[in-house]
C-alpha cells in the first residue's frame, strides 16, 4: 500500500512537470499541455540536449513514417480481438458496450471496453484490465514502461509470435517507482537547464545542427516494407493463423479478470449494446 501511494505521488509530480514543460515550450493543444507526447519524448532519448532541441521546436515532429501495412495489421487484429471479447463477455451473461471514443456514463452497463492505446475494460465503472495488441515483431518497451505506471493489469497480445501475457504493475512496484523517479529527475534537469549532452550512434539521426556532435544524414522519409513474395505470403499466413488463438487467449484472460470481481449473471438473457463514435 505504501509503495502504491509513493508511485502515485511520483506520477503526479511528473504530470505537474510535464504541464510546466508543455507551457514553457508551447507543446499545448486545445489549451492543454501534450503530456503524453512530452513524456514519450523525454523517455525516448538519452541525450538531453536533443530533447531540448525537440522541445524548442514544437512545430517539428521527429518521427519515422512506416509502411501502413504494420499499422493496419494492428488495427485489424485489435478489432477482431475486441469482437471476440464481446462474444465471450456476452456469453457469460454480462451486459456489455464497446466504445470507440471517450467513455460516457458507465452506469447502464456491467462491462465497458474503450478502444484506444491501450484498450481498456471497465467493470461496474472501475478499470479492471487493459489490452495492447501488437501485430508485428516490433515491441516498444518505452511505451510498455509508461503503461506500467497505471495499476490495472495489462494484457499484451503479440499476434505474430502467438504470445499473450498478463502483466501486473502492482507486482513490479520497485521498477515502476525507479522508472518514475528517473524521469522526474530528467525533467527537473531540463527545466533547470542543467542537462547532459551525450554523443553516440544516434547523432546521425539528430536534427540539432548547432550541436558539434551532429552527424545527421539524409534518410528516406518512408520506411517501405521490403521482403520477397514468399516471405510476405508467410507473414500474412502466420498473422491469420495466429490471430484466432491470440484472440481466444486474450478473451480468456479478460473473462478471468472480470469473473474475479463480479459474479456471473447468466440468466438466459444476453444483451449487447454497441456505440460507434
Choose among 121, 135, 129, 116: nearest CA to 155. 129
DSSP helix, strand, coil percent of the chain (3-state; round to 5)? 50, 15, 35
Q: At what angle do helices 48-56 and 2-25 cross, to 10 degrees?
A: 50
- pLDDT averaged per 10 residues, the chain (length 277): 82 95 92 91 93 81 63 90 89 71 43 82 86 87 93 94 95 95 95 88 85 74 71 91 96 91 50 31
pLDDT at 168: 96
In the block, which residue shows the cell 478471468? 256
pLDDT at 141: 92
pLDDT at 272: 32
pTM over 0.85: no
pLDDT at 245: 96
What is the C-alpha separation between 36 and 11, in angstroms, rounded? 12
Overall size of the chain counted in residues: 277
pLDDT at 260: 84
Amino acid at each position: 500500500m505504501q509503495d502504491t501511494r509513493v508511485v502515485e505521488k511520483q506520477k503526479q509530480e511528473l504530470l505537474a512537470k510535464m504541464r510546466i514543460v508543455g507551457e514553457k515550450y508551447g507543446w499545448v493543444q486545445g489549451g492543454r499541455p501534450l503530456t503524453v507526447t512530452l513524456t514519450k519524448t523525454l523517455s525516448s532519448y538519452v541525450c538531453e540536449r536533443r530533447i531540448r532541441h525537440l522541445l524548442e521546436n514544437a512545430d517539428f515532429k521527429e518521427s519515422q513514417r512506416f509502411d501502413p501495412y504494420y499499422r493496419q495489421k494492428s488495427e485489424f487484429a485489435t478489432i477482431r480481438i475486441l469482437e471476440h471479447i464481446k462474444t465471450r463477455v456476452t456469453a457469460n451473461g454480462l451486459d456489455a458496450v464497446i466504445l470507440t471514443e471517450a467513455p460516457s456514463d458507465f452506469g447502464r452497463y456491467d462491462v465497458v471496453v474503450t478502444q484506444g492505446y491501450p484498450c481498456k475494460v471497465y467493470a461496474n465503472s472501475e478499470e479492471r484490465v487493459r489490452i495492447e495488441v501488437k501485430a508485428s515483431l516490433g515491441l516498444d518497451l518505452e511505451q510498455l514502461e509508461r503503461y506500467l505506471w497505471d495499476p490495472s493489469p495489462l494484457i499484451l497480445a503479440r499476434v505474430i509470435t502467438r504470445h499473450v501475457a498478463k502483466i501486473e504493475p502492482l507486482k513490479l512496484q520497485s521498477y515502476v517507482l525507479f522508472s518514475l523517479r528517473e524521469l522526474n529527475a530528467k525533467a527537473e534537469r531540463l527545466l533547470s537547464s542543467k542537462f547532459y549532452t551525450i554523443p553516440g550512434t544516434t547523432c546521425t539521426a539528430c536534427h540539432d545542427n548547432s550541436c558539434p556532435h551532429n552527424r545527421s544524414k539524409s534518410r528516406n522519409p518512408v520506411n517501405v516494407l521490403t521482403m520477397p513474395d514468399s516471405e510476405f505470403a508467410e507473414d500474412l499466413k502466420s498473422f491469420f493463423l495466429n490471430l484466432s488463438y491470440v484472440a481466444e487467449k486474450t478473451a480468456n484472460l479478460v473473462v478471468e479478470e472480470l469473473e474475479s470481481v463480479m459474479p456471473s449473471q447468466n440468466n438466459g438473457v444476453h444483451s449487447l449494446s454497441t456505440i460507434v463514435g
